[in-house]
Every structure is written in structure tokens, then in C-alpha cells.
Amino acid sequence: MAKKKTKISQNDQGSLGSSLGAALLAKGFETSPSAVNKPSDTREQPEPLALDQIKKLVVQKERKGRGGKTVTVVSGLQLKGPALKSLARDLGKALGTGVKIEEETLVVQGGQGDRVKDWFLAKGVKRVVTSGQ
């Protein structure tokens, strides 16, 4: 014999009320709109990149030690931390490829040497040297 199922009415609000806010108030929590809508500014904003201060970048194609995959390595950047992460993100979005940070160099997926060079020149880098292209 099957057990008899009991239905719960959707109109029955029960002891906690019909909303999460009402339930929290019933349990003793306070809600304040200023705490809920307050934006968190705890994240550090990276300072604007001064790519025109870079005198020389080296862009080279590399395949050794990468499982036969071709990558483009950008070295000579004088950036660290959040500024380098921001630059990698911007470069990856502009080129539509993956960009990884290895120590103080950027590693772009694929043989993108010409596109990387053109992007950095457009951003104000004075001299971009390509090797292994």
C-alpha cells in the first residue's frame, strides 16, 4: 500500500511569513538598505598603464618546451602585479587569444607576433623588436 501524500497549501504562509525578509526579521536579523546596496571598494584599482614610458619590447615566437604549440612571448615590460594583469587582460581581449603571465613576461597563444607588435605600437610603445618570426 502506498503512503498517503499530504499537500501543502501555497496560500499558507506558515510561522515565518511569505518572504525571506519576513523570515529573517522573525528570527531577529536586521536589514538595512544601506548595507545591502553599498558597493564594496575593497579591491585595488590598478593604476593607469604608462606604456609610452617603455623604451623597448622584445616579441619572439617560441615552441620549445611547449608541447609543439607555438606561442608569442613578450618581454621587456617593466610592469608587475595588478598593472601586468590588467595589460594581459587588455591584450587578450584585443587579440581574441589567451594570454598568460610567466614571471615578468606575457605569453600569447599562437603565432601572433605581428598583431602583438601592432597593438603595442598603437598603445604608445616607442620600439618593438621582433625575433624568430
The model carries a pTM of 0.61
Which residue reads 616579441 in cell numbers? 59
Take residue 114 and report the three cell numbers written for it: 605581428
CA–CA separation, 21 and 26 (whole Å): 9
CB 133 within 8 A of CB 118: no
Take residue 89 and report the three cell numbers written for it: 587582460
Single-letter amino acid, residue 108: V
In sequence order, the 6+-apart residues with CB closer than 8 A to the CB of 21 are: 31
Domain 51-131 part of CATH 3.90.1150.10: no
Q: At what angle do helices 113-122 and 82-95 cross, to 10 degrees?
A: 120
- Please compute the mean of the pLDDT values over residues 11-40 and round it to a whole number: 65
pLDDT for the residue 25: 78
Give me the numbers of helices (H) and strands (E) for the chain, helices first please.
4, 5
Confidence of residue 123 (pLDDT cuts 50, 70, 90): confident
